[in-house]
Amino acid sequence: MTGLVIEALTVAFGRFTALDGVSLAVDPGEVRAVIGPNGAGKTTLLDVISGITKPVSGRVMLGDRIDLTTRSEAEIARAGVRRKFQKPSVFPALTVRENLEIGCGPAVPAGARAARIASVLGEIGLRPRADIIAGRLSHGEKQWLEIGMVLAAEPALLLLDEPVAGLSDAETAQTAALIRALRRPDRAILVIEHDMDFVEAVADRVTVLHEGRTLYEGSLHGARSDARVIEVFLGR
């Protein structure tokens, strides 16, 4: 079982401390939402987990053996971590199918890819668009394609950075259903989102980040009645 354990993570950009001793544990099978105002450090947290940013101190353990802070992006991905970026990051010059093919990762043999791509195309609802250049997709379709790309690798840890940003209400509901369907006993999911209804629909627990620190951890219901959380969200 590979959950995620983050211990006392501190990240600095020059003299600015973006994350200040953040600790967080996501169990396998859990969907955790990280919420917080803009600039709270949510994306930075995912940057550290996926190896793009190196922390000043702290550890990020995947399972009980691998410290992700010592690994490269590609090694982290090969250990079963996949991330959907805040700005939809698909390869615009390749088709939907080709994007998913790359999403399967280098380890999946060519023979096994076709079946996996077909099933992911069904899950993300882009089967009719499979041979379209990704650059021509709508914003919502790009969001789904990117979710499909990270799904195609069957990740043990899935990181989703604002997966419903810029989506219509109907698209948001569809995406929530999709993410609920991704829950598996051997998979931990960490999702960053502003949309509280969406968080309520997908997450088991929430972590509230504010100015690089953990402000609250527990149920969304509890967060809504927490005095400090209310202050931060109303005060902006």
Ligand X SMILES: Nc1ncnc2c1ncn2[C@@H]1O[C@H](COP(=O)(O)OP(=O)(O)O)[C@@H](O)[C@H]1O
Which residues here bind another protein, judged by CB under 8 A?
Answer: 50-52, 72-74, 76-78, 82-83, 85, 89, 91-95, 97-98, 101-103, 105-107, 110, 130-131, 135, 149-150, 153
Q: Where are the beta strands (DSSP E) in the chain?
A: 4-13, 16-26, 31-35, 57-62, 66-67, 81-84, 157-161, 188-192, 205-210, 213-218
Nearest to 149 by CA among 189, 197, 104, 88: 104
**Residue 135 interaction partner, one of Mg ion, another protein, ligand X, none, beta carbon < 5-8 Å per kind:** another protein
Position 38 contacts ligand X (CB under 6 A): yes
Q: Which does 18 bind (CB under 5 to 8 A by kind): ligand X, another protein, Mg ion, none?
A: ligand X
Q: What is the size of the binding site for ligand X (CB under 6 A)?
A: 10
Question: Measured from the CB of residue 87, what is the shortest distance to ligand X in angstroms?
Answer: 11
| CB nearer ligand X, residue 49 or residue 188 | 49
> Distance between CA atoms of 2 and 9, rounded to whole angstroms?
19
Tell me how far, at minimum, the Cβ of 157 lies from another protein, in Å.
12
Q: How far is the CB of 43 from Mg ion (least distance, A)?
A: 3
How many Å apart are CA 3 and CA 38, to the nearest integer? 27
Cβ proximity to Mg ion: between 30 and 193 the closer is 193
Choose between 154 and 204: whose C-beta lies nearer to another protein: 154
Residues making contact with Mg ion (CB under 5 A):
43, 86
First to last CA, the chain: 39
| Residue 225 binding ligand X, by CB under 6 A | no
> Does 41 interact with ligand X (rule: CB under 6 A)?
yes
Q: How far is the CB of 235 from another protein (least distance, A)?
A: 34
* Residue 134, both tokens: 């990704």
Phi/psi of residue 146, nearest 5 degrees:
-65, -40
197-204, Cβ contacts within 8 angstroms, sequence gap of 24 or more: 197/172, 198/164, 198/172, 199/33, 199/35, 201/173, 201/176, 202/31, 202/33, 202/176, 203/31, 203/32, 203/33, 204/30, 204/31, 204/32
Task: Give the residue, chosen from 24, 40, 68, 104, that forms a contact with ligand X under the rule CB under 6 A.
Answer: 40
Residues found near ligand X in the complex (CB under 6 A): 13, 18, 36, 38-44
